[in-house]
A and B are shown apart, each in its own frame.
Chain A
């Protein structure tokens, strides 16, 4: 019971605290790709910890709990026997049903959304193919506003307007296209779709509820970093300022007040993008930490419970 509850507490704590910690790190110059890995593995860790907690509640002999706590054996059993077994069984079953329901919701939501996305992509691509001129991998639209976007799929498509080529310098255009290419090669549309599925299934935990917005922002930062590697920070920043001044009518103001600040700020005096190898290392480290964290928190919570319950 104690191990199970501790795991559930660990999962809950993590899903409340991880978003704030990660957002602060990113704003202070942390690598956005590392933050994406940390966010996704945290979500997986929380889900696994919750699953582990429920399974332990249901198992009669609490799996691996005892050996770890051999030293605290007496105390442990007193805590354990303090709770009538029926409570465990009932909460275990309730938890299992809850998890099952939520997982089903996640799968159904994700599949439905993937289907709708595929249809929408086909529609948009059909229109784009006709309305735009193809030049290599980029589709050009005859339109005055400087705009660029990427369309998910295999292969993905980059769309840009003639206004972009006219109003931006050649290095700036290259920076914009490098940014969009990074979205496609990094599978950023998929990452955002995963975030949407997470929020759809578990809207009550911040780690899940905030995933779509946060991941959307993070992939922009990752793509900016990729463009900086290719074209330099100056080109990316000046391109961003030129394009964002136009943007969607009516929303231009909102844009300059929000995430655009983070992007411009980072391009102005942010750290240079880390080398690929270093980035890989940091991502691995972040993933491992995120995976281990609920268990560590659980251990801490359990220790606290044991200490409170059995003053030595």
Chain B
């Protein structure tokens, strides 16, 4: 499972760097993963990425050409949006460096905070 995730990341890296639609064979040639991968492995990975919505593909002759569905910056922005949306959620698995505490969360500390300090710190 772990290995597959790494491969997906490596393949996306190639697609993002090339900035043009690539065939499976071309992706395979551009991959730098230490050992040589099988053609079918890369094909499976690309198929998975397509299923998950990371890449779009177009049939050209007999083979598909793959292209990132969104740029790396767009993907990052979407991830950040998800993270920010989930902060403050009781079941959030993330801790945010400057988390926006909800009213409920910091109620007690705020009550304990002397009024004078509250106004000077803002």
Contact = CB atoms under 8 A, between A and B. Distances in A.
A219 B95 CA distance: 10
Interface string B70-99: 001101111110111001001101111111
Interface string A237-248: 001100110011
Interface string A162-187: 00000000000000100110010000
A27 B93 contact: no
User: What band does the interface of chain A fall in when counting residues whose beta carbon is under 8 Å from B?
Assistant: 35 or more
A117 B91 CA distance: 6
Given A149-B95, A260-B98, A265-B117, A142 B106 contact: no
A248 B103 CA distance: 15
Contact of B80 (A26, A145, A243, A268): A145
B12 to A, nearest CB: 5
Nearest to A218: B109
A261 B113 contact: yes
B109 A180 contact: no
B98 A27 contact: no
By CB atoms of chain B within 10 A, which of A121, A159, A268 has the most?
Answer: A159
Interface residues of B, number: 47
Contacts of A268: 121
Given A126-B5, A132-B76, A161-B76, A248 B84 contact: yes
Given A120-B93, A131-B72, A183-B95, A216 B101 contact: yes
Given A23-B111, A213-B104, A189 B122 contact: no
A143 B97 CA distance: 16
Nearest to A148: B97
Contacts of B83: 124, 147, 149, 159
A124 B9 contact: no
A268 to B, nearest CB: 8
A78 interface: no
Contacts of B76: 131-132, 141-143, 161
Contact of A151 (B84, B94, B99): B94
A250 B122 CA distance: 17
Interface in B9-61: 9, 12, 49, 54
Contacts of A27: 109, 112-114
A258 B101 contact: yes
B105 A217 contact: yes
A217 B101 CA distance: 8
Contact of A247 (B98, B103, B109): B98
B95 A213 contact: no
A109 B51 CA distance: 33
A18 to B, nearest CB: 11
Give the one of B77, B98, B109 with max A CB within 10 A: B98
Contacts of A196: 90-91
A70 interface: no
B80 A147 contact: yes
B80 A264 contact: no
Nearest to B10: A130
A74 interface: no
Contacts of A147: 80, 83, 96-97
A187 to B, nearest CB: 11
A20 B112 contact: yes
A20 B108 contact: yes
Contacts of B110: 258-259
Given A129-B5, A131-B72, A149-B96, 7 more contacts: A27-B114, A121-B93, A131-B79, A150-B95, A179-B97, A216-B101, A268-B121
Interface of B: 5-6, 8-9, 12, 49, 54, 72-73, 75-80, 82-84, 87, 90-91, 93-114, 117-118, 121-122
9 contacts: A129-B6, A131-B75, A142-B72, A151-B93, A152-B93, A217-B105, A248-B100, A254-B101, A261-B122
* Shortest 6 CB-CB contacts between residues of A and residues of B: A213-B105, A251-B100, A141-B76, A244-B98, A131-B75, A23-B112
